[in-house]
Structure 1
Amino acid sequence: MAGLASDGSNPDVRLLYDVNGLAKSAPGWVDRAMEFIGEYGILLAVVLLVLGCWWSARRRPDTESAVTAVAGMVWAPLAAGIAVLVNVPIRGFVGRARPFVEHQGLDVLVKGKTDFSFVSDHATLTMAVGAGLFVAHRKFGLAAIGLALAEGFCRVFMGVHYPTDVVGGFALGTAVTLLLSPLAMALLTPLVRAVARSERGRVLVRSRRVRRVAAAAAVDIPEARSESGRNDLAA
């Protein structure tokens, strides 16, 4: 894989220089902002999206749909962790050096990166979460996928990854999430359903307000039927 990146005529290398060249021509504050966003900011935003998805899932009108949505939300970060672990032997096997090791003139915004380059952990993690959230909640999933794409751009902009490192991370994160999703949901859904039935844990699956509304509706329906029956008898 390293050989693919050694030739300056390679499209991977050309795109690396084109995107990283934006960092060279940008003001210093833009580089500092991109460094923070690409290293920490987008990861923090992804965490907030997971929490937002959980908050929304708890407000589903019925228990079963809430259980399914919360189980999908739980699977998203678990899938990301598994995908990053899967990447450990891949990195060691491929052994691709960071782009700034083999190519001169790059504007490297994050120093001290000594590990291998293929595939990008950041791209893998963010896309795994995006794919997982998309299964649980389309709106939050699309937002997370958008953040993953932005993360991939940042990693190349910062000069710490080739574009193919990012594409490989997207593919790995998506594959791990979707391939293991049926098994994960089969295991997580009964667990989340049991939490929803417990006295202390049910608030993690359904909000108190939604449960109160559902309980009130369940009481109103029999009363309405009883009133209708009395009216029929009176008629």
Structure 2
Amino acid sequence: MAGLATSGSNPDVSLLYDINGLADDAPGWFDRIMEFIGEYGLLLGMVLLVLWCWWTMRRRAATLDDAASSLAAIVWAPLAAGIAVLINIPIRGFVERPRPFVDHDGLEVLIDGKNDFSFVSDHATLAMAMGVGLFVANRKIGIAGIALAVLEGFCRVYMGVHYPTDVIGGFALGTAVALLLSPVAMALLTPVAKAMGGSARAGWLVWARGSLGVAEPESDSGSGAEPGSGLSGGDSERDLAA
């Protein structure tokens, strides 16, 4: 299936030239910015969105069950991205589509060293899987993640390293993995997150109990005293009587 959509007469190639032509007309400093954003910047932005989602939701969770399901959904976002990229490896090997600059002249290629196959785009796949995964966890943050993924796809075409259909295929693959495998992932990750939430050492990763006024678990002695007070219930009563 090598040479998929390499004819200059098809809309895929026409759109490629239209978008990449913007790089030819733009000043050099702007192209350097787009190169950094398309290769590294937007993926870094996705990581920051995941951290923001985690920090926000751990403080809002009212119960351990809510906190555990929220953390499971957040963790699933980067895991979905990794799984989607792994699934893309055999897809690329089967389709064997060359990079657009191999078959088409006159493209402004902003980054060197892209000698692997083009369909589908790893960057678009990874970004959209994380964006959709975040949408499952939190609608508002997820919309921001999906917007970043769309911008990532535009940058890959702008840089001259992917056809538009490479990006669309990446969006479809990332979305499918994030949504279709989500029920299985939640079933596996939620019990782990709940166990972490009940742990004295790892509980802070799951929820911020103190900020919500939720009582900490009682000590092993079963006393009613607050943790760290060093007083049992009986000691407190004797002190009050005195």
TM above 0.5, yes or no, is yes
Unaligned 5+ runs, structure 2: 217-223, 225-242
Structure 1 vs Structure 2: percent identity of aligned residues? 69
Q: Counterparts of 1:150-161 in structure 2 under 5 Å? A: 150-161=151-162
Q: Answer yes or no: is the 8 Å Cα contact 1:4–1:10 preserved in 2.
A: no
- Aligned partners of 1:157, 1:205: CA distance in 2, in Å? 40
- 1:2 Cα deviation from its structure 2 partner: 4.3
Q: Which residue of 1 aligns with 2:92?
A: 91
- 1:33 Cα deviation from its structure 2 partner: 0.3
Residue type matched to 1:94 in 2? Answer: V
Q: CA RMSD in A?
A: 1.4
- Aligned partners of 2:180, 2:56: CA distance in 1, in Å? 25
Aligned length: 216
Q: Which residue of 1 aligns with 2:204?
A: 203
Residue type matched to 1:72 in 2? Answer: A
- 1:208 Cα deviation from its structure 2 partner: 4.5
Q: Answer yes or no: is the 8 Å Cα contact 2:74–2:137 preserved in 1.
A: yes
- 1:139 Cα deviation from its structure 2 partner: 1.0
- Aligned partners of 2:8, 2:114: CA distance in 1, in Å? 22
- Aligned partners of 1:83, 1:69: CA distance in 2, in Å? 21
Q: Counterparts of 1:10-21 in structure 2 under 5 Å? A: 10-21=10-21
Residue type matched to 1:15 in 2? Answer: L
Greater helix proportion:
1
Q: Which residue of 2 aligns with 1:34?
A: 34
Q: Which residue of 2 aligns with 1:43?
A: 43
Q: Answer yes or no: is the 8 Å Cα contact 2:131–2:143 preserved in 1.
A: yes
Residue type matched to 1:165 in 2? Answer: D
Are 1:54 and 2:58 matched, yes or no?
Answer: no
Q: Counterparts of 1:57-206 in structure 2 under 5 Å? A: 57-63=57-63, 64-206=65-207
SS at match of 2:59: coil
- Aligned partners of 1:160, 1:134: CA distance in 2, in Å? 28
Residue type matched to 1:203 in 2? Answer: W
- Aligned partners of 1:122, 1:161: CA distance in 2, in Å? 10
- TM-score where L is the length of structure 1: 0.89
- Provide Cα deviations, 1:68-111, integer angstroms capped at 9, x if missing partner: 11110000000000000000000000000000000000000011
